[in-house]
Chains A and B, each alone.
Chain A
């Protein structure tokens, strides 16, 4: 059965001045996969995520999401194509409650505008109730369901803040979720629970692309791994094959292959 490609990067290049952060990167993510992007620090992993989500504009290449061209689209339009993400350095809305943070994630799933909001028209109120319910569901899903929904986001522990970002991403009902170092700063127990959470996200029919340095986690949950070094893809394949790849070993140990 030929699997459908949900995300396709083709020859994607990004330069910052003289530095080529991502260099001719080509890879695809199939629907229903958990795929990981790994590589040493500065390999261009987060840059790749920023290119996919329109945070940076790419210099060359093409990006497609579910068969639609996503190249150089602004971030909110990429989100509209069904891509949600979390951030390596947690980017929560510190001025809002945890429930409201997750409700922003569902922004594109609702339509109330300035007029219906300022007059609190009945349709808008119904929509608010549905949004809040959806947000509570996402909080439960990531394991934050027992917290009072009006808890201020910055008062959460670090690991919980990471989970809140995941809940916010899920609220968008995305086709694809990008997790940027979700295990960074988490304890071993928290990382294990994160692994289960990622599996359960896949079971919801959401495709996952993640960047992480925790090799145990990556090798355990990923179907496929892409390895970057200095912006270039040096390997791609099943976790076991990649682990044995001499080029990958050299990149991690800092030797010339």
Chain B
């Protein structure tokens, strides 16, 4: 019997005292889509890094066609055809698409000069192989996330990739773009390229993979053929315990806390009107680019709308003033928590107190005792997993960071909470905790708007669901009538529209 295409044996890696990867073995066959799942911190990233030669493992080997690779060399891994498409933006935004494909391995002529025509020609051929049309002279930053990803795939193919590692490739893609990506993955598979596919979205795993490997706490839980495992079983393998089903009792809605009337900004959103009542969780669904985040930012005063009015608890909110919004009890937890939600280098405690520092001070000076008790209380309430309040927020896992981004507003006890993609990049276990928090806040009488592209999430959380399509409210669904299909039907552009 010939050896498997890629054989990983006993891979281990520790960072400081933390065992990120412990004795993990798996195989990838030629032309196989092999899914890798696990919670954040389960060791997926470390495995990818060891496999692609970015870090050197402490122990274990990677063998390609039976021949072991020298450990810890990007070029050696590339030479064997193992290429990782790292999570989002690991490319060069200011360079052209064709340059991005070839940088580091440029075709040359005249004894060392760039061979521009050949680059253009080969890039074009690669795009044709992928069946995609992209203006290759455009700078990468001018392309959409999906197009950037195609460039990344083309780059891997130009290096004769035989094992393509994709880390959360659909994180910033729309539904239609995801379908295109799937088509390309299946085509590459048919051409004999193997794919190691990492995703939090289990539907994708079931749609694509032949086998799935689960990691937990750096260890291998198991590898299963996809036909022999159910979704629930997979989740159980990932968390190591049963999750409560995502259900909630419908809260009794109270007085209207947020009233939005005719909010409009040309090119982004048009005539948006809705109301949020106390104790209510309202989902805002729609495709990426439908204008949902823009509406939330307009309500919060980050960028004022051209027209329309926002009323909080009966009193009008001056447009374009974040200070006024915060003073009146409106809070926004942004999508991009790393840049907009947290100050990563600062300690956990300081991040939790950012919003309320003013109210905790004594005559303009910080009060250490008040701060300490507030932080301790919050960390317990949020069940933040951190060594203590003094470790930098940036060292926490994605799920715990998200809890901090939420928690800093809890300290201020807002009346209206706007959440933009509250569980993006958050693992299953932490997701459940974020949901529990959101529900707990709603029970306390907060009015909550949840923007999410994750339909199961919207369905699990919302009392009502608003759907946006191309900048307009396309419809509203009650909890009873909402299904994934009905939401999608409202969110997708009708036939004939662009």
Instruction: Answer yes or no: do A and B interact.
Output: no
Contacts from B to A (Cβ < 8 Å): none
Contacts from A to B (Cβ < 8 Å): none
